[in-house]
Amino acid sequence: MTAYTIKDLLDIMARMRGAGGCPWDREQTLASLKQYLIEECYELIDAIDAGQTEKHAEELGDLLLQVVFQAQIRAEQRQFSFADVVDRLCAKLVRRHPHVFGQASVSDSREVLKNWEAIKLQEKQGAANEPGCGTSSSLVSDIPRHLPALHKAHHLQKRLARLGFDWQQVHDVVAKIEEELSEVKQALAAGDTARISEELGDLLFAVVNLSRFQGLNAEEVLGRAVDKFARRVRAVEQRVRQTGRELTECSLAELDEYWNAVKAAGST
């Protein structure tokens, strides 16, 4: 069995993009590849969740392909190469792990993360001070714009928490949720659509905070809730079809009975 190397991968990618290569690969741009990068990330997560070792290795390869693909396009534009990507990554890892590659010492992983954020902030401030550079040194300036909202909220809250800006007790977080829910009710009573939207956003943000405070990721928590809901819907559909009908033929009261029966069964 042939044991390919990273060099082989780079050579294959260059040939696919080169003259006489693959027409589809040659047509791709950084913009057209974005959708595939996102899809591959989700497929990789699915493989991890499923515990499928071979699938995990395959999906890691597909994700690596996206990295190599984009690096090849940038190399063709004479911007940077895959080697530059590796070089910058290694330099960043060494720079942000002074407790491993330097003289710094840490007591636990929380201190590691706190130092990581402090070093990142120093890097941003250094970049912002360079002549002609408009880069912001804000803690939130580099949070990806396209992150799903729940994940973005979790990421922002976690970053600030590492620097000490966080709730002290879980009951304080719960109290904040209750406060935000009260404000949602007030907005509903007033019939103010714009305020309802704003207050619902604040409520969701507070719920994400509770999830994070409990060591959970709100995106994953909601994902599991959605999956559970879908399983129960399928179970209800199955019970209804056993009677020779479809959901659309049932009254709301009947659907509630089926739903409660499925929930009570505890099989989903």
Mean pLDDT, to the nearest integer, of 149-164? 87
Instruction: Give the per-residue pLDDT at 200.
Output: 97
Convert the pLDDT of each residue in 210-242 to its tens digit: 999 999 999 889 989 999 999 999 999 999 999
Q: Which residues contact 207 (CB under 8 A, 6 or more apart)?
A: 177, 218
Name the pLDDT band for 268 (thresholds 50, 70, 90).
low
pLDDT, mean of residues 29-56: 93
Residues 6+ apart with CB under 8 A from 96: 115, 116, 119, 120
Among residues 221, 46, 51, 50, the alpha carbon closest in space to that of 151 is found at 221
pLDDT digits (tens, 9 = 90+) for 52-61: 999 999 999 9
* Confidence (pLDDT) at 235: 94
What pTM, to 2 d.p., does this model score?
A: 0.65
pLDDT digits (tens, 9 = 90+) for 100-136: 999 888 889 888 888 888 888 788 777 666 655 555 5
